[in-house]
Structure 1
Amino acid sequence: MNGAGNAFVLIDARGRSAPLSLPAERVAAIHARHAFDQLLTLETHPVETALLRVWNSDGGEVGACGNGARAAAWLLFEQDGGETLSMSSRGGRLTARRLEDGRAEVNLGRPRLSWRNIPLSRDMDTEALDYEVHLPGGGRLTRPGAVSMGNPHVTFTVSDVSAIPIAQIGPMIEHDILFPQRVNAGFAEIRGSDRIRLRVWERGAGLTQACGTGACAAVVALHRQGKLGRAAEVEVDGGRLGVRWAEDDDVYLTGPVELEGEVDLGGLLS
């Protein structure tokens, strides 16, 4: 599957008698056969519609994936019907509703804004971090906003996102000691009060076609800095996402989903 170009392998493991065992080497073996940005599993949950689990392509299990949650919700609606559903995840409880055009809108919950909850390694104002990155060709990026959407993000405002050497500076930001759980680094070019162009270096996955939690984090961070409204269209490499930071403080994500087909994982699961 993909969500705005964000590539997934999704395993529907509901009904299994035991949880899937997916150590990092097994995730890497699946990635070697079927390249993905994130591996998703749907498993049985005693209360919610399903348990959603997420692994990055480097084999690390993570707490959240906005586009993955949208893709999983869309598949559940297609298979099971209904208009609303809920999923449990490491990042918290997720709810979704089916829109009239067939897409799924996912509520990713409230953004986490305190330095401890992102987390950072020391106390700092998360609205505009006292943090800077020097660019290889000269110049610097400063004062990013920090937000957790169940996973940590920083978003830098840039004048031309296509000119930023993300592949060079992304790993450095991801592994900076300020971010004890590593971090996703977003680079946002503001194109209006309700529109941005965004590229994201994802921890454990690199530069991807789209990042749903990154889009949500960017809208929250830029609104906190007075640069954007509470709702915006986010243009990513793979398409367009809709983000809405509602007055109840929850963040909602919409966008396209495509089911590309089925793959054989025989021998790689247990």
Structure 2
Amino acid sequence: MPLNFQKMHANGDDFVIVDSRHSANPVTSAMAQRMGDRNRGVGFNQLAVLLDCDDADARVMFWNADGSALDVCGSATRGAADMLMREADVTSVALRTNRGLLTCERTSTGDISVDMGVPLFGWSDVPLAQELDTAVLPLAGSPAACSMGNPHCTYFVDDLATVDIATIGPAIETNALFPLRTNVHFVQIIDRTHIRLRIWERGAGIALGSGSCSCGAVVNGIRRGLLDSIVEVECDGGSVTVQWNGVGAVFLIGPVEASFSGTMSQG
């Protein structure tokens, strides 16, 4: 049976949405990996599957391109919200994820804002393999770690051009300190309201952008006293805005666009 999908992107951070409301969930780890193959499948950084939900507009399950599951994806959440808002002709929806209930709104400029929840800093919340101060990890470069529902490790560097992301990224992603692996960010601070961010994404590699990584990078920068509460995050593919008051929920605001729709054989 063919599987219908919608391909979208957020500043080049591409994802696929499968709408399985009112039907059985057809996506398994193997199917996600097959769809994520950029040569033989559709290709994406993440896959979002929409399911029926009693206490929200939809439940969303997320997959990486390597077939591993994740609890949240900021870009695909914005894409799912955009799709559901257009379908119902509304300006806000609530999505149930493994991260919790995420409230999404369309802004006056057409961007999608997502309440990404409260960041977590406990070593067991990230998680780390041992009890450590997550503000300064005992790794070369002294990165910081946090969880936005998935693990994040942030390096602050003077010049992104000098960073070999393709070498350092996978080494840190799979470091024994991170039992569930980790996303890895490299941040160059332009000023207190503007950063350049390059990303090695867990299960996907170098990414043009990432919503949750943008959130994690800003949160760790604010913890270090380097950033203000509203920050423009300039990724390789474009910019998003992250807001955090240092206590409550993190808000992610940025655009999403539809690329194309299609069908793929499940066989």
Aligned equivalent of 2:3: none
Counterpart Cα distance in 2 of 1:203 and 1:261:
25
Whichever residue aligns with residue 266 of structure 2, its letter is: L
Q: Are 2:19 and 1:12 aligned?
A: yes
Alignment partner of 1:223: what SS?
helix
Aligned equivalent of 2:192: 193
Whichever residue aligns with residue 240 of structure 1, its letter is: S
Alignment partner of 1:246: what SS?
coil
Counterpart Cα distance in 1 of 2:43 and 2:105:
29
Q: Would the alpha carbon gap of residues 248 and 225 (structure 1) be closer, same or farther in structure 2, given more than 3 Å must change? A: closer
Aligned equivalent of 1:119: 127
Q: Any residues of structure 2 matched to 1:236-251 within 5 Å, and which?
A: 236-246=235-245, 249-251=248-250
Aligned equivalent of 2:139: 131
Q: Are 2:235 and 1:268 aligned?
A: no
Q: For each residue in 1:143-194, what CA deviation from the matched residue of structure 2 results, as whole angstroms up to 9, or x when unmatched?
A: 1111100000010001111221101111110011100110000000000010
Q: For each residue in 1:48-76, what CA deviation from the matched residue of structure 2 results, as whole angstroms up to 9, or x when unmatched?
A: 11001110000011111111111111111
Q: Any residues of structure 2 matched to 1:218-233 within 5 Å, and which?
A: 218-233=217-232
Counterpart Cα distance in 2 of 1:224 and 1:218:
10
Counterpart Cα distance in 2 of 1:12 and 1:21:
10
Q: Would the alpha carbon gap of residues 262 and 82 (structure 1) be closer, same or farther in structure 2, given more than 3 Å must change? A: same
Q: Are 2:162 and 1:163 aligned?
A: yes
Alignment partner of 2:263: what SS?
coil
Contact conserved, 1:30 with 1:268, CA < 8 A, in 2? no
Aligned equivalent of 2:83: 75
Whichever residue aligns with residue 53 of structure 1, its letter is: M
Alignment partner of 1:55: what SS?
strand
Q: Are 2:179 and 1:175 aligned?
A: no
Instruction: Give the strand-richer structure, 1 or 2.
Output: 2
Counterpart Cα distance in 2 of 1:28 and 1:84:
31
TM-score normalised by structure 2 residue count = 0.93
Alignment partner of 1:260: what SS?
strand
Aligned equivalent of 2:98: 90
Counterpart Cα distance in 1 of 2:266 and 2:243:
39
Query: Which has the larger displacement, 211-220 or 90-99?
Result: 90-99
Q: For each residue in 1:187-234, what CA deviation from the matched residue of structure 2 results, as whole angstroms up to 9, or x when unmatched?
A: 000000100000110111001110111110111101110111111000
Counterpart Cα distance in 2 of 1:222 and 1:46:
37
| Runs of 4+, deviation exceeding 3 Å | none
Q: Are 2:45 and 1:23 aligned?
A: no
Aligned equivalent of 2:149: 150
1:54 alignment partner, one of 54, 57, 62: 62
TM-score normalised by structure 1 residue count = 0.92
Alignment partner of 1:213: what SS?
helix
Q: Are 2:103 and 1:105 aligned?
A: no
Query: Which has the larger displacement, 52-61 or 24-33?
Result: 24-33
Aligned equivalent of 1:255: 254
Contact conserved, 2:20 with 2:26, CA < 8 A, in 1? no
Contact conserved, 2:92 with 2:105, CA < 8 A, in 1? yes
Contact conserved, 1:246 with 1:252, CA < 8 A, in 2? no
CA shift, 1:125, in A, is: 0.8
Alignment partner of 1:154: what SS?
strand
Q: For each residue in 1:82-135, what CA deviation from the matched residue of structure 2 results, as whole angstroms up to 9, or x when unmatched?
A: 222111111221111111122210000000111110100111111111222xxx
Whichever residue aligns with residue 22 of structure 1, its letter is: V
Contact conserved, 2:197 with 2:214, CA < 8 A, in 1? yes
Q: Give unpaired runs (5+ residues) of structure 2.
A: 1-7
Root mean square deviation, CA, Å: 1.2
Whichever residue aligns with residue 175 of structure 1, its letter is: T
Aligned equivalent of 1:136: none
Percent of aligned positions that are identical: 36
Aligned equivalent of 2:53: 45
Counterpart Cα distance in 1 of 2:133 and 2:257:
39
CA shift, 1:248, in A, is: 5.3
Counterpart Cα distance in 2 of 1:190 and 1:232:
10
